[in-house]
Structure formats: C-alpha cells, structure tokens
Chain A
C-alpha cells in the first residue's frame, strides 16, 4: 500500500498543463465534464492502489463543501 506522491513528479509541467487544457478545447461544459471523468477513471485504474486513491480523493475534496 503506497502513499500519494504530492512532490513534483511531472517532467515538463508546463507542457503537461497545456496538454490538459488543450484536451478540453472547443468542448461544452458537459463534454468537458465527461472528458474529465474518463480521465479520472483511466488514471485511477492505472494507479490501482486503493490507499493512494483514497488519499487523492481526500486531497481533492479537501476544503470544498461539507467535509
């Protein structure tokens, strides 16, 4: 069981960010939401480790809405 890595881990972070935004170019909000959801599922499966995923879910949700 691993630990979520929140230290810098991306090579060329600016390039990745541009690609991420680019993936949503020309999409409606609904389409964008679908792309994001697919992305989350693909990455979650790739990570596989439920502990890491639980930490990521908690970190993503942190500070938003009711705890």
Chain B
C-alpha cells in the first residue's frame, strides 16, 4: 500500500507470564475497533482491563470505511472523534443510478444543528491506529500484542484464559471475559457456541485505489451500469485520495481469479475511463453474511462486535453497531464491578443489543436482497422499482442500496421508565424513553454541543431552574451519581448551565420550563417528566440500573 504503512506494536513480556496466574477484573479478547473502544470506555469509568490481541498491528486491507453519526458521537465521548473527523471525509449525500441515468439522490442529514455529519469515511486501519493511540494515553489499559487466546474455561465467577505468546503460553483469571475477537471468534468456538443466520450467494470484488479525481464526496451506487452490466457497483471516497469500489460479481465468479490485477484492471478502466490514473492499494473478494448469536451473555463471558453479530456491509452497520455495543456495555460493567448494580444489569445489555442486532440484520438483509435478488420474481420487482424510480417519487423510497446505519431506539427496554405525562411528543425522532440522545447546538462550559455535556454518568437535563440546589447536591452525592445540566435559566449551585443557542434543545427534546429528561451514561433517554420530583428520578435511576 502506498498511502499507509501498518505500525508494528511490539510484543512485551509481562510479569503475569511468571508465577501464579494473575486475576484481572476485565479481560478483553481482541484489539479491533470494538475491543479498543470498550477498553477506553471502561478506563473512562475508572475500570482497568487487560486487552489481548494475537496480532501486532492494526487491520490490514479493505474493511470498514463509513462511520455513522452515532458512532462518531460515541467516539467523541471516548476522545477520538475529532481525529477521525479531521482525517476522514464527511458526507451526507448519496446518488443511485440505474444504467446510465440518475434514479435519485438522497440527503441523510437534511437538518442542521448537529455536530457530526451523517457519515465520515476513513479506512479502518486509521480508525484503529487512533484508538490504539488513545488507549495508550490511559494507564488503566494494559494492551498486550501477540497474546493469542487459545483456551477459555468459564466458571461461575469468571473464566480461566490460556494465552499463547512468543515466549510460550501462560494463564490468567478473568472476572469478566469480553470477546471482541471478530467474526470468526475463537472464544465463541472454544465455548462451543453458535452464531446463526444466512450467507448471501453472491461475491463482491472490493478494491481500494489511489487516484486524483474530481468525483464529489458522495456515495454513488449503480444498478446495471454500462461499465459493469447486470451487476451493481458502489463508489466511495476515503482519506488520502483513496477510493473504495465494490463490484458485484455474482455467485459463479472465481474468487481467486477475480483478485488478479489482470482481471481487476479492465473492470476499473471500463468504469473510470481509459485515461484515469490510479494505483490499486488493495483488492479482495468477499461473500457476505448476516447472523448473530442467540445470546450475547454467557455467564461471565460477554460477546460484542462482530463476534456477536455479523451483517453485510450494505448499510455500514458492522463497526457502527459494535460501537453501540460497547457504549451500552461499559457503564453497566463499571456499575456491576463497583458493586452498585446487580449482575443482571448485564442481561439488559443482551436484551438491548440483540434487539438492535435484529434491526441491523433486518435492514442489511433487505438491502442485500434488493441488490442480490434471490428469485426471478424478486429480480423483476427490483427492476420494476428502479424503472419507476426514474420518474415517480414514490418508487424512490423503495430503492434499497443500503439503509444506512442509524442507532436503534430501545423503546421496549426494561430499563426505561414509561412516560406518565401524556402530552410528550411520540412522533418519529422524538426523545422517547430508549431513544439515543439527539445533539443540538448550545453554549456551555464543555463546548458548543449538547452531547459534549451529557453522558459517562447519568445526567438530568433540566429546562430552566427546575431543580433546586439541595436536590442537585443530593443527586451528585448519591451512590450512583447524577449530574444536572440546566438548559437556560439563572445559575443553580452545582448545576452546569448551558444556553440553547438556536432553540433546538427545546425543540428536539420537547422541552419547556420545568421539563426533565434523565439520560443514561450511554446518552440514551431513561425517563422524562414535565416537572422535577426527586423520588421519581431516584426510582427511574434504580430501574435503569436494575436496582428496583
């Protein structure tokens, strides 16, 4: 590769490798994006962990490129969002072509007043490198390269883990073992567990090329283009003038043959024109699957990211949903380890994230079925939709080249306190209990955005002087603390006051004087009321932490 050199993270012998097995509260298997994000999140909650990775570098070749707004917001909370945004390329607009004509154009973030765009594109190795560097700033993280997990024996209070290293094997005891070890998940296999779903009978050539081009920074998707008849093609811009091109090849394509430059170059020339100057950075042939484990928690062994669930890339729901796993898991694990919540709080991780995984799988499966129709009738309807879309607006809503990653609304979660005030908005996008918190422009001590002021701890968003100083202090000093962020109004001792610069906090949260919104540490709405009542807040927090 011309634009990136994989760093080498050296193996270091650790004291654990001599003497009796050490015990660690949390051991994470895998330093991919998800394992790293979890380690950082735990460290921010004051929980130390050991991270084991069999490799000595970040990911190699063409993998994730699109990080969705919600993932960026999580990465902001972890302290790496800005680096990713600065290095990557942001985009909101997509175009879908049928043959040689534009079928339609969509804008994923039509409204302003959000810190982050709908998507930022960045090669996965950069993302991982930034996460490794962020982890390096946090002494609570003990990251061990070339430490390959080869054995796991689960117990009631943890697991015994066998690790192979260049100096030979050693064992350790883990209070909690979090398997972030990717789609093939050796931990899953060692435990004899399955991940079930379907494989799509199609193959895709994924090529990353380096080229100077004036294509706009948009997602372009073609059905049946003249340069690649009967199949689909996707074009995306990444950092450093690298472009991602996916060619659908069909099930009968020979993956080994299709990887050869002699096969790839004519395809690229047909698409980009005979004069285009480019170099291939990386190319591989993929088959995609959608599947998940039945349960993400097995006693003290918990699965997150690709080990737990796998989707086809149409919709960019892989890493994006993995970051939502760690967002969900980290604070719960921190509370359980601190003895402030019962272990069954981790069951809510399973319930909430399997629900989200099903939504992601449903969306990716629908897109993949549209792109790769399974029957003649399905192909006919697909083509009919595309034909109609050229002229008729209704059909454009049916074209599915990937419904791009949006976070799940955990509306049915047992951690939510249902609304008791009947006049709250419940329209799509409303901040109902279970919704991920919407961003909005503010002016406050922690910057210009609402999401910079909430999360990590429980946060009470109070519109105006709704919570008195004594209550603010009581919330701050409770066993599970809750900060008060006050939107507008005069100063209250102990509360952070922010200004609603454009009135969008009030609009997005359906807030008026006195409205209270309780946010979880992962920035999801737990409860909301039209007036503050300390007992109701305590009850909602107890419910959100399984202390009820």
List A residues at the B interface (Cβ < 8 Å).
30, 33-34, 37-38, 40-42, 45
B384 pairs with A38, CB closer than 8 A:
yes
Which residues of A are found within 8 Å of B9, using beta-carbon distances? Answer: none
CA–CA, A45 and B385, complex, Å: 12
Interface centre among B381, B395, B398 (most CB of A within 10 A): B381
Chain B residues within 8 Å of A45, by CB: 392, 394-395
Complex contacts, A33 vs chain B, CB 8 Å: 376-377, 380
Chain B binding surface, main DSSP class: helix
Contacts of A41 in B (CB 8 A): 381, 384-385, 388, 395, 398
The 8 A CB mask of B341-381 against A (1 = contact, 0 = none) is 00000000000000000000000000000000000110011
Contact B384 A34 (CB under 8 A): yes
Query: Binding site of A, secondary structure by majority: helix, strand, loop or mixed?
Result: helix
B499 contacts the other chain (CB 8 A): no
A38 to B383 CA separation, bound complex (whole angstroms): 9
Interface size on B, residues (CB 8 A): 13
Bound Cα distance A42, B392 (Å): 9
Q: Are A38 and B394 in contact (CB under 8 A)?
A: no
Closest-by-CB residue of B relative to A46 is: B394
Cβ-defined contact, A37 with B381, below 8 A? yes
Query: When the two chains form their complex, are residues B387 and A42 in contact, meaning their CB atoms are under 8 A apart?
Result: no
Give chain B interface residues in 388-412, CB to chain A under 8 Å: 388, 392, 394-395, 398
Chain A residue with the shortest CB-CB distance to B385: A41
Query: Across the interface, which residues of A come within 8 angstroms of B377, CB to CB?
Result: 33
A8–chain B nearest beta-carbon distance, Å:
28
Asked if A37 contacts B384 (CB within 8 A), the reply is yes
Query: Roughly how many angstroms separate A3 CA and B377 CA in the complex, as a whole number?
Result: 27
B387: A residues at CB distance < 8 A: 34, 38
Against A, the Cβ 8 Å flags (1 = close, 0 = not) of B491-518 are 0000000000000000000000000000
Judging by beta carbons under 8 Å apart, are B380 and A42 in contact? Answer: no
Q: List 28 A-B contacts (CB under 8 A).
A: A30-B380, A33-B376, A33-B377, A33-B380, A34-B380, A34-B383, A34-B384, A34-B387, A37-B380, A37-B381, A37-B383, A37-B384, A38-B384, A38-B387, A38-B388, A40-B381, A40-B384, A41-B381, A41-B384, A41-B385, A41-B388, A41-B395, A41-B398, A42-B388, A42-B392, A45-B392, A45-B394, A45-B395
A48: nearest residue on chain B (CB-CB)?
B394
Contacts of B384 in A (CB 8 A): 34, 37-38, 40-41
How far is the CB of B492 from the nearest CB of chain A, in Å? 49
| C-alpha gap A7/B368 in the complex (Å) | 39
Closest 4 CB pairs of A and B: A37-B384, A45-B394, A38-B384, A33-B380
